Structure 1
Amino acid sequence: MIRIFTVLAAAISLTACGGNPDFAEGGDIVTIHGQIGTVDRGPLNAELEPLFRAYGIEFDAACVMPFASLADMEQRTIRVAYPQGSETRSFSGPLLRDVLSIAEPQGGTLTVTALDGYQRDIPLSMVMEHDVILAIRMEGDALNIGGFGPAMIVWPRDTDEALADTDDSDWVWGVFSIEVRN
């Protein structure tokens, strides 16, 4: 557990020292792996990628998404109360289904992992049926590590009647890994 907090503290300090709120020169912020058809990077290097190792994530190939690539995609904005019952905020980013389409998912379930170790299994069909976004901004500012960043799954529950009664369980913030599996 101490190792995980050390890794997170290092990531936060590197982000803070960078001074770049949009991570324009940073590395990849979300890695999509598992049963995908498009890959643009090789296997995990456990020695140089300790966060994946700390959470038991392994892969032989992946599709990576830098902030700039996500920001270049068509942006959608969702105004919604998050956490549930709090004030309404504006989140923006590409549709998650558009992000996933780049990786060509071959499975039916997404296992989304956050920086704090939270993992959530989400049916791919839910993402495909609803205008869910992979938010990279809130109120126009980049989602930073230490807040909800680097990315967050945001559901349009205030405008999509089918999602009106959903709780916050699938609202994964601090997203850095999405595994596609059966």
Structure 2
Amino acid sequence: MPAFCRLIVSLSLLFFTALPSHADEAVNVDKPILTLSGAISHTNSDSGYAFDMAMLEQLPQYSFTTSTPWFPEPHKFSGPLMRDILAKVGAQGDTLTAIALNDYKVSIPMDNSTRFNLIVATHKDDKRMSVRDKGPLFVLYPFDNESETQSQVYYDRSIWQLKAIHIE
């Protein structure tokens, strides 16, 4: 019987000590979450410039509350301005190709980052956005503040589950 008890205790310890490391992976802010490539002058990896969530959160944060076609009510979105991300990597070009986790791609004119307060939202209503809730990164225009952006052209450019941006 003592051998059986030791086995149960050992298995329990193994199980419970394995849980925290697995749980940490789910909220790992050090894992690259956004990669910029193409016409950039600053890199930090072989694939271009990789940001983890902490690096994005170190950039100046911008917030706005807006209505969107994807949510029934207005929400507060916050995150870094696209122009600040592009400046950080020394981006030069005319077109941003934004790529989602499912490899969906959309082209965004580079000047949209200066004409509008275009953000890469990391938070909705002050909570980090999950993949289920169009996160962890969502490119958003301030639809309620800029009437020009209230059209299908700009809705189509608002890509969710963003993973990469290629600059040309």
Instruction: Tell me which interval the TM-score lies in, with the shorter structure as reference length.
Output: 0.7 to 0.9
Instruction: Return 5+ residue gaps in structure 2 as ranges.
Output: 1-21
CA distance in 1, matches of 2:71, 2:166: 30
Partner residue of 2:32? 28
Greater fraction of residues in helix: 2
CA distance in 1, matches of 2:62, 2:74: 16
CA distance in 2, matches of 1:85, 1:91: 12
1:19-168 alignment, distance < 5 Å: 21=27, 23-24=28-29, 26-42=30-46, 61-83=47-69, 86-166=72-152, 167-168=154-155
CA distance in 2, matches of 1:28, 1:170: 23
| Runs of 4 or more consecutive aligned structure 1 residues displaced over 4 Å after TM superposition | none
Greater fraction of residues in strand: 2
Give the partner amino acid of 2:158.
Answer: W
Q: 2:64·2:78 contact (CA, 8 Å) conserved in 1?
A: yes
CA distance in 1, matches of 2:24, 2:76: 25
Instruction: Please report how far the alpha carbon of residue 85 of structure 1 lies from its aligned counterpart in structure 2 after TM superposition.
Output: 7.2
Which of these two proteins has the greater Rg computed from alpha carbons? 2
Give RMSD over aligned pairs. 1.9
Give the partner amino acid of 1:162.
Answer: E
- The TM-score normalised by the length of structure 2 is 0.79
